[in-house]
Amino acid sequence: MELRQLEYFAAVCREMHFSRAAEQLCTTQSNLSQQIKFLENELGLPLFDRIGKRIALTEAGQIMLEQSKHIFEHVDYAKRAITDLKRMDGGRLDIGILPGDGDLLFDALLIDFHRAYPKLSISVTETMDVYEQVLQGTRDLGVTTVPLKPDERMAVIPLFHEEFALAIRSDHPLAKSKAIPFEQLAQLKLVLFGPEHQMTKVIQSCCDAKGIAIDNPIVTSTLSTLLSLVDQGIGASILPRLLLDYMDHPNIATLQLLHPTPSQDICILHRTDKFMGQAAKLFMQELQAFVERVKQHAERSSQSQSG
């Protein structure tokens, strides 16, 4: 059994038509038919039922198609591993993250990582479909909330627990408070990400549980706009505590939200059955180390504010 025969077989399965498959493979229909015949003779069973001009997979063909997919995945894995071995500091890394997380996790990290590995091409895309895109193979890595029931092919690596806090202009009457009850948000004008954003979904879930509605006249998709609106006193916002402490904005006070404190768990995702190059491994290590440094910086900033 030759790999070329399996490639020919897979092409016929995709097209369900010998002449179109032959055209796709840039070969003759007679050569394609001969290779499929060789394969069927070796297996001792027909792979296709010929019904006039139409063809259909036999039971043996269905088994062969399923196993061929695994074989091609292993071959692709081997090719990528060897390529990666030849260029340890090259290649491409495609990462999906939730909108807004780039400001906390990626801006400074990407600069340092690029300086260390200048030949590596990195693409970071903000998307609400991080999990789905990593599962589909569109992204090499994903940074998002921990999925409830991850696919068995998905590796979930915990990154950090993220609590949300109230960001409010420092001259607001509430700014002197260290914490407020969650239901007090109903008395404030808030500026938030859109309803499709994961943060907003968590906040809305807490509002529903408390039976309160919030005044949210301005919606934006960018963190910088949210912070600018808070800085100008247009409204307060609810953002990751880690982010607020790390940025340490001089005109924005951070208040803890109590009963409940909205939160979510952030993780790194990747497919366990896909080849992971040295670039992805190194990036995950750097990301985990960077998060620890951010935590330490935020803790020192929070302590200095308390003092």
Q: What pLDDT digit, counting tens, does each position of 200-233 carry? A: 999 999 999 999 998 888 888 788 899 999 999 9
**38 and 177 share one domain:** no
- Rounded CA separation 242/104 (Å): 8
pLDDT of residue 173: 93
Q: What is the CATH number of the domain that holds 236?
A: 3.40.190.290
Q: What pLDDT digit, counting tens, does each position of 156-209 carry? A: 999 999 999 999 999 999 999 999 999 999 999 999 998 888 889 999 999 999
pLDDT of residue 109: 81
**105 and 182 share one domain:** no
At 275, give phi and psi (nearest 5°). Answer: -60, 135
∠ Cα 198 305 197 (to 5°): 5
Q: Which two tokens stand for residue 23?
A: 């055209």
Which residue matches tokens 């954003």? 197
**155 and 170 share one domain:** no
- Rounded CA separation 113/288 (Å): 13
**197 and 64 share one domain:** no
**99 and 150 share one domain:** yes
**241 and 297 share one domain:** no
**174 and 133 share one domain:** no
> What mean pLDDT is reported for the chain?
87
Which residue matches tokens 């006193």? 233
**133 and 258 share one domain:** no
- Rounded CA separation 21/7 (Å): 10
- Rounded CA separation 215/235 (Å): 10
pLDDT of residue 184: 94
The residue out of 46, 71, 86 marking a domain boundary is 86
- What is the extent of the structural domain holding 191? 163-264
**15 and 80 share one domain:** yes
Smallest CA-to-CA distance from 292 within 101, 162, 160, 165 is with 160
- Rounded CA separation 240/199 (Å): 9
Smallest CA-to-CA distance from 18 within 4, 35, 2, 3 is with 35
**82 and 129 share one domain:** no
Q: Which two tokens stand for residue 198?
A: 């994961």
Instruction: Report the C-alpha dihedral over residues 295, 300, 306, 307, rounded to 10 degrees.
Output: 170
CB atoms within 10 A of CB 128: 16
pLDDT of residue 119: 77
Q: Tell me which H or E stretch contains 113.
A: helix 107-116
3-state secondary structure of 126: strand
Which residue matches tokens 């200095």? 304
Q: Tell me which H or E stretch contains 303.
A: helix 278-306
pLDDT of residue 112: 81
Q: What is the CATH number of the domain that holds 135?
A: 3.40.190.10
**168 and 260 share one domain:** yes
The residue out of 86, 121, 138 marking a domain boundary is 86
pLDDT of residue 245: 84
Q: How many domains does the chain have?
A: 3
Q: What is the CATH number of the domain that holds 55?
A: 1.10.10.10
The residue out of 231, 248, 264 marking a domain boundary is 264
Query: What are the residue ranges in the chain where pLDDT is below 50?
Result: none
Buried (b) or exposed (e) across 202-241, using 16+ Cβ within 10 A? Answer: bbbebbeeeeeebebeeebeebeebbebbeeeebbbbbbb
Which residue matches tokens 């790194």? 268
Is residue 248 classed exposed, middle or buried when 0-12, 13-18 and 19+ CB atoms within 10 A define those classes? middle
CA 116 to chain centre: 23
> 60 near 43, Cβ under 8 Å?
yes
**140 and 282 share one domain:** yes
Smallest CA-to-CA distance from 104 within 32, 37, 199, 171 is with 199
Q: With left for phi above 0 and alpha for psi between -120 and 50, is residue 161 left, alpha or beta?
A: beta
3-state secondary structure of 285: helix
